[in-house]
Structures are given as C-alpha cells and as structure tokens.
Amino acid sequence: MKINGTPYRSLWWNAEQDVLEIIDQRWLPHDFRVIPVQSMQDFADAIYEMRVRGAPLIGATAAYGMARAMAEDPSDANMDAAWTFLEKTRPTAINLRWALDRCRTALRPLAEADRAGAALTLAHEIADEDVEINRQIGLNGLALIKEIAAKKPAGEPVRLLTHCNAGWLATVDWGTATSPMYHAHDAGIPLHVWVDETRPRNQGALTSWELGSHGVDHTYITDNAGGHLMQHGMVDMVITGTDRTTRRGDVCNKIGTYLKALAAHDNGVPFYVALPSPTVDWSVSDGVAEIPIEERDAREVTHIQGVTDAGGIGLVQVTPDGTPGGNPAFDVTPNRLVTGLITERGVCDASEEGLAGLFPELARAAG
C-alpha cells in the first residue's frame, strides 16, 4: 500500500546490499523508520520485539531468517537450529511454524551447496504468495460489503468495526481484515471503520494510520466502546484477523477479540474473520484448550508509549509503582460466535466442513 503516494510492502529484499529491510513498527504511527535485518539475532529480535508483527508477516520474516541461516551454514544441523531459534520467538501465530516447516521441507532434500539460493527464492515466494492471498481475501470480503451496501440508502456508509491491526503492516501487503476495506473504498463504496485501540500495544493506531493514509473514513475508539456501538445499531459488520484458526474454525486473535464476538452475537451483528489458509492449524481442534497463548511483559500494560509534549516518542507509566500487570496477548473466539471465514478461496462457515470444503487437500494432508 502507499505511504505519501509511494508504494511500500512491510518488508522487502534489498538486492544491492543483499539484506532484508523492514519497516520498524515499534515507532509507528509517529515515526517511519526502515531498518535492515541481518544476523540471526536480528531476525529473532525483530519478531519477539514486534519490529515486525502480525501472523502473516511473522511467517514471511521467518522464511527470510531461514534464508539467512542457510547463507551462513547450510548444514542440516544449522537448519534445525535456525528452526528452533526462530520458532520460539512468538508462540501463538501459527504462520511462524508454517513458514519454517515449509522451508525445512523444501530445503532438506537439496544438496548443501544449493540451499542458500533456494531458501532465498522460497522466502520471496512466501512473501509474494501472501500478497496475492490477501488480495483475494479482499475481493471475497468486498462481496460481503457490497451486500450490506446494497441494503442501505444511497450514500450511507457501511459501518465496520475491526480489532488490532490486521492491516498491510501485519502482512506483506493489503492486510487480511483491511483488504476488503481497501477494495470497498477503491470501488467507491462509502465506508466508516470503527478502530479499536487494542491495548496494551495500541495496534489500532497502526490501523488508523493505514486507513488514514488510504483515505478511508474511520474513528479510533476505546476497546470497551464496541459493545455500546453495536447495541445502538452503529455497526453493520465486524471483521478481524486471526493468528491461528483451528480445523473446526475456532479463531485465536488479539486479546479482546472474543469480547467483540460476544457483543456482536448478542446484537445480531455479523462477525467475520479474514483468514489466509496458512493461518489454519489443521492439527488443532479445540482452540481454547489447545492453542498456546503468549504472555508478554507486564510493562506493556503498566506503561504506554506515545508522543510527549516535548515532541519525542516516550513511555509513560500509568499504574502505581510496583503494580503487578498481566498481559495475555491473544484469546480464542469459539466457532459458534463466528459468522464466517473470509479466505482466499471464498467465504465459508467457521466449521470443519466449511474449511475442508474450501481446502480439501490441506484437510486431507493433515489427516
């Protein structure tokens, strides 16, 4: 997507310098910084510290990390070490393991001399595929938005609500939940997006930045406002992303998603989840019982980052000294609360039948 008219992806390969470059998301929306990711430690830090974030982007970054490892030492032992080193950075988003598994499966049979080149080509492929998957999700979600728009008086906006940042910054491009929004906006459908702030890390500010840059009308709201807006008929549809979806359609996403789904259910508001197929974990059925939930540093809760009156980016403590903080980063929304899954192959029920119907080969391969 574009920043001040210039097209960007969230990561790209700098072929001249032979290095991966990323937008360092820790400073957004206040400061736009591009940094190189070079050493294996850089890759792990980029993912753990959320310089890159969002399930699909974590996966693509890990693929480039594997390419880096193969350039350093293409042995089987180093391949396995890189897999373990990168996989442990963040436990919930399945795209990380999906990308690492895909790399290892493709690279293992190759002669060591061929691995570095093949790994880099594969990382490029994974990044490009992500862009195309998200574009298709956008077209499939656009059809749903068009249906809502058709029932409204001409010119009245379709009012969407989203949680966290499932935008182009969370993927390589387009975003998942935001892709239908960008497509609808570009198709001339009037939209208004309620953007949840998404404490503790306020990924909603990233979503606001993205939507604002693209000219999409939106309002940044507190995490607790969504239920109220739904009760008053001010939300036509919720679209969120997902970090891991089970084979039967339970959705694990940013903390607070479950509460939005409950409020949507209680108020008859359609609750859709934008789901790229690499985000399905076919080995898991019961999301609440089986998906590991990342517990992050309590400082993310007790402190908040923003622009200070002096104009710099600063951290402010919001709790009394020494207050213990709890920081589960994700929650699980059971499939019964999900109206549908918007995938690159179409929209399906949040159920085993729905997912296996669209992705029979993946369901079969998982057994």
Residues lying near ligand MRU in the complex (CB under 6 A) are found at: 53-56, 93, 164, 166, 170-171, 175-176, 203, 241-243, 253-254, 329
114 belongs to the catalytic site: no
Cβ atoms of residues 126 and 55 within 8 Å = no
Cβ atoms of residues 157 and 192 within 8 Å = yes
Cβ atoms of residues 130 and 171 within 8 Å = yes
In this structure, what are the phi and psi dihedrals at residue 245, rounded to the nearest 5 degrees? -120, 135
Shortest distance in whole angstroms from residue 236 CB to ligand MRU: 20
Q: How many CB atoms lie within 10 A of CB 129?
A: 17
* Angle, in degrees to the nearest 10, between helices 94-107 and 112-150: 140
Nearest to 98 by CA among 42, 81, 106, 46: 106
Question: How far apart (Å, rounded) are the C-alpha atoms in residues 54 and 242?
Answer: 9
CA 194 to mean position of chain CA atoms: 18
Shortest distance in whole angstroms from residue 167 CB to ligand MRU: 7
Question: How far apart (Å, rounded) are the C-alpha atoms in residues 73 and 243?
Answer: 31
Nearest CB to ligand MRU, comparing residues 102 and 260:
260
Shortest distance in whole angstroms from residue 68 CB to ligand MRU: 21
Could you tell me the CA-to-CA distances from 283 to 32, 96, 97, 306 in Å, in that order? 38, 15, 12, 40
Catalytic residue, from 42, 243, 250, 331: name it.
243
Nearest to 241 by CA among 303, 194, 176: 176
Going by the DSSP 8-state scheme, the letter that residue 9 receives in this structure is: -
Question: How far apart (Å, rounded) are the C-alpha atoms in residues 362 and 280?
Answer: 9
Shortest distance in whole angstroms from residue 279 CB to ligand MRU: 7
- In sequence order, the 6+-apart residues with CB closer than 8 A to the CB of 269 are 230, 235, 236, 237, 238, 263
Shortest distance in whole angstroms from residue 165 CB to ligand MRU: 6
Nearest CB to ligand MRU, comparing residues 79 and 302:
302
Nearest CB to ligand MRU, comparing residues 136 and 203:
203
Nearest CB to ligand MRU, comparing residues 61 and 203:
203
Residue nearest to ligand MRU (CB): 241
Nearest CB to ligand MRU, comparing residues 74 and 204:
204
Shortest distance in whole angstroms from residue 128 CB to ligand MRU: 16
Q: What is the 3-state secondary structure (H, E, C) of 301-325?
A: HHEEEEECCCCCEEEEECCCCCCCC
Nearest CB to ligand MRU, comparing residues 256 and 354:
256
Nearest CB to ligand MRU, comparing residues 74 and 340:
340
Question: How far apart (Å, rounded) are the C-alpha atoms in residues 176 and 324?
Answer: 34
Shortest distance in whole angstroms from residue 3 CB to ligand MRU: 18
Catalogue the active-site residues.
243
